[in-house]
Amino acid sequence: MNYWRKVVLFFLACFIVSAEAQQAQPLPFIENPTIKRMAERYASEAIEVSKSRFGVSLNYSAESINDVSKILDKLHQSYVARKGDMMDEEVMLMSKSFGSYIGEVIRRRHDAEWGTANFEGQDFPAVRSRAGLVYLPWSRAASRIVTGPGAALADDLQTLVQR
């Protein structure tokens, strides 16, 4: 599949897949240890970037999700200031890093698992909660960077763990 089609599908997933939508129709999910290892590496990168670029120390606590929200808001401001000219590769890298960090907080604090979720025939890295709710943290992070603040990331975490 061509690169731009993947990017379009990735961002489409950001806007369509939500916890509320999944209550009626959960996304198909397959646990994947390779995704887990990759997400752990990307999460480590997010910790390094947050410290070096934003002066924020992340520690995998539930409270640190608020710090990630602020970082993603700053990335959105940069995206807007550049009139959407932030390179797709930079958006994807930050989405993978901070999305993986969010997913790792969910996995470590709430016994979730990494894998892939299928949306419109395309597999996306995802986290599945104990209750079976599937969350696309990379897509959620990308959405925050490109479209700005919406529902708080901490609210996403609450939805995932309350079910």
The total domain count for the chain is 1
Kindly state whether residue 7 falls inside one of the protein's structural domains.
no
The predicted model gives 52-56 an average pLDDT of 97
Confidence band for 108, pLDDT divided at 50, 70 and 90: very high
Domain that holds residue 145: 25-162
Rounded Cα distance between 105 and 125, Å, is 15
Longest dimension (CA), the chain: 42
Report the distance separating Cα 119 and Cα 63, nearest Å. 30
Residue 114 has pLDDT above 80, yes or no: yes
Answer whether 99's CB lies under 8 Å from 89's CB.
no
CA distance 98 to 73: 12
Confidence band (pLDDT; 50, 70, 90) for 33?
Answer: very high
Interaxial angle between packed helices 3-16 and 137-147, expressed in degrees from 0 to 180 and rounded to the nearest 10: 90
The reply to whether 3 falls in a domain is no
Residues 6+ apart with CB under 8 A from 47: 57, 58, 101
Q: DSSP 3-state assignment of 115?
A: strand
Torsion of CA 90, 154, 152, 25, to 10 degrees: 90
Q: Which residue has the tokens 């890295």?
A: 125
Question: Is 6 contained in some domain?
Answer: no
CA atoms within 13 A on the CB side of 90: 13
Q: Is 155 within the bounds of a domain?
A: yes
Among 11-15, 47-51, 86-90, 137-141, top mean pLDDT goes to 47-51
The pLDDT value recorded for residue 46 is 98
Structural domain includes residue 126: yes
Whole-number pLDDT of residue 53: 96
What is the C-alpha separation between 128 and 59, in angstroms, rounded? 21
For the record, the structure tokens of 155 come out as 């609210």
Centre a 10 Å sphere on the Cβ of residue 17 and count the other Cβ atoms it contains.
22
Q: Is residue 114 part of a domain?
A: yes
In a domain, 66, yes or no: yes
CB atoms within 10 A of CB 72: 25
> The CATH number of the domain where 105 resides is what?
1.20.120.1090
Q: What is the pLDDT at residue 117?
A: 93
